[in-house]
Structure 1
Amino acid sequence: MFKRKLSALDYGKDYNPQDETQFRQMAVWLEDMKIRLYPIDGRQSLRDIQNPQWHETFSKYLQDLKFPYNNEMINDRIALSDWLMGTAIRFEYGDNVEKYKPISSNIINNQQKSNSVNQTGNPLEAIDYTSEEFKSGMVKLCELLQIPTKFNDTTAVLRAVSKIITTKLSKEAIDKNQIKEQGSGVDFSIEQMPLGFDTGDKIINEAAKILRLLYIQDLRTLQTKINETIVSVQSFVADPRTDSKLGQIGW
């Protein structure tokens, strides 16, 4: 989820936001190398990640950074990681404007050339994902689908929206739910069910029919799980991460 931002910041370590030690190390590294809010001698308490009082120190650090969210968000390591990385990137760009200005100009020129050549191309290319109109529409869509909206990574949110729609709101998913609902209330008499053989005892015959029904039910349950597994694997294999701006498709 954070691979691109950490790569842009030259953070050369693996990162798992749910690992508290890795989170603290990343936060300290961003302060030391990119943000530099405090003077060097004022970072000692923040660097002491084993200190039992580190959480209070970090909360004070976020206040000094003008962290814009409420206190509950301080415990959300994923949202905090996203915000800290975005802040670090902003500071990095501010410190090296002349360095990144040619890159920004080239990107804009390439986009303009692409738009002029591909007037009838993918309509998604024309969307301004940073506009307030897009963000407002995304928030409403996420609220409708009950998807968290606290992340700044619009790519991840769009993937989540796509997953919800394809797995729960597609025609195939709706038809599957309807079949389950319709198939849950079948009424029939066990005497009408053919056994295929006769033991000569009515009670034993009925017991055999019941065992046969249970066996058939187990087979259907197993087949359903197999089908669901196949669909999940196909969905995973057929969902490469695409960055249309970079012209890359793949993992």
Structure 2
Amino acid sequence: MSSLAMGFVPGQYETEFRNFIVWLEDQKIRHYKIEDRGSLRNIHNDEWPKAFEKYLKDVNCPFKIQERQETIDWLLGKTVFILAADKYKDSTPDSAKNTDNASKNAEPLINLDVNNPDFKAGVMALANLLQIQRHDDYLVMLKAIRILVQERLTQDAIGKANQSKEGLPVALEKHILGFDTGGKRFYFLYTV
């Protein structure tokens, strides 16, 4: 808001000007502690211009006391900045909100009701189908299912598995094992 719109003209309304400066400091800017505002509040004192000049220096105002319109505009701008900073100091930036959403989406199993009988039956059916070892915690089994699906059942993984010889039966007599089986032959079947 322009100082001209407020009706402040240099040399006029001295008491109103001083009261306005004190009000801004007391109510909005609050640069000084309450006990340190005495000389600025004493608007009828002949030393008030010195107190005001010190105040402008303390709040880093770039204008001199003779430049009242500019000083008022600058102090009002500082007030708006302070009010905006107070209003938004506890708000979360959009980028942080997106990070929170991404972390929630990265772990989609967090909000599942693991005590729901349908959930338990579904996890058990998937575990049996994919030959995943049973566990007392259904959420642990579901995580194992997810890992298996992500690692082994993507189109690329299936294509690689079809091209690979991994998972075929192995005859131990064709390989040097590094240990003696005592005449017995063992055959292992490794499946994916």
TM-score by length of 1: 0.32
Structure number with greater Rg is 2
TM-score by length of 2: 0.41
